[in-house]
Amino acid sequence: LLLLLPAALWGPRVSGALRGPRRRWPVPYRRFDFRPKTDPYCQARYTFCPTGSAIPVMKEEDVIEVYRLQAPVWEFKYGDLLGHLKIMHDAVGFKSSLTGKNYTMEWYELFQLGNCTFPHLRPGMDAPFWCNQGAACFYEGIDDAHWKANGTLVLVTTISGTMFNKMAQWVKYDNETGIYYETWTVQASPDKKSTVWFDSYECSKFILRTYQKLADLGAVFKKIQTNYTSIILFSGEPIYLGNETSIFGPQGNKTLAAAIRDFYNPFKPHQSVREFFVDIFKIIDRVILNQQFYLFYNLEYWFLPMKSPYLKIIYEEVPLPVGSKASFGV
């Protein structure tokens, strides 16, 4: 079973071989040695990967069609609503020519997007508490209606059973070491050549990594346009603040700790219309008027000196890959 269950924030040890230098931009996404056990406080409104299954071992001579799947986020609940904002979810589909069976593989949040993006401020705890996990899910079948109704279901390449099995080994590695969801891309300006301070790590990035792995294994992709959603924050050069212990621990910076908790407070779940509008004004005050944002990335806190246009959702073309000697681990 590929389903890797969620975990408490504190626990995984950063692999020394995978740790990146502090001032390299973008800051490298950290991979970890293992997933710690789930924390019972973290609960999802919708169950993660309810029908998840093991990735099958394909026969070497099999010919497997690979499909690009894309639909608006929460399409099952809101239809095309978020599609109008180009907020899309990505997945990849497979069809075996020998068995005729279809499969879907995707990567998404275990506790929904809000919990991955902002923490809980729990009574009696100084540090913000994060329910942030992402994982791959593999299951039999492709829900044609879901992907076709408001999105995309299109053949992008064909691969052999041998290539599929090698991809499956890579998926296991990728899923066991890349465990935290990162919502934001942070860059210096809307210009395409501007510096990227932090890169996101979400569903579309998993699909892009999967396509690249298949290309590295020899897959030849069709020449079709492929676009993906990114949520971008615009900031001057980020300032490193520290980790949970250095900020919120016994010898921590109490002034900074209070500022971070105060920043995150308006992002808590809302219980009334009045509270919602009060908090919206607080968010505008902090992010736009005072040009402040506190980012939690790689289990560390950073200060972002925000600048116009502050936030933008883009639906940008990323071409399908060509093979290279570079690979993602396996």
Catalytic residue ranges: 89, 203
40's CB contacts (< 8 A; 6+ apart) are none
Contact 294, 240 (CB under 8 A): no
Which of 179, 177, 197 is closest to 189 using CA atoms?
197
Residues of 65-96 as b/e, b for ≥16 C-beta within 10 angstroms?
Answer: ebbbbbbbbebeeeeeebbeeebbbbbbbbbb
DSSP output for 22-50: TT-SSPPPP-BS-PPPPPTT---SS-SST
47's CB contacts (< 8 A; 6+ apart) are none
CA within 13 Å, CB half, 85: 13
203-216 vs 161-177: helix axis angle to the nearest 10?
Answer: 140
Q: How far apart are CA 199 and CA 127, in angstroms?
A: 24
Which of 292, 286, 295, 289 is closest to 305 using CA atoms?
292
Q: How far apart are CA 85 and CA 18, in angstroms?
A: 36
Task: Return the structure tokens found at 201.
Answer: 């790590």
DSSP, res 283:
H
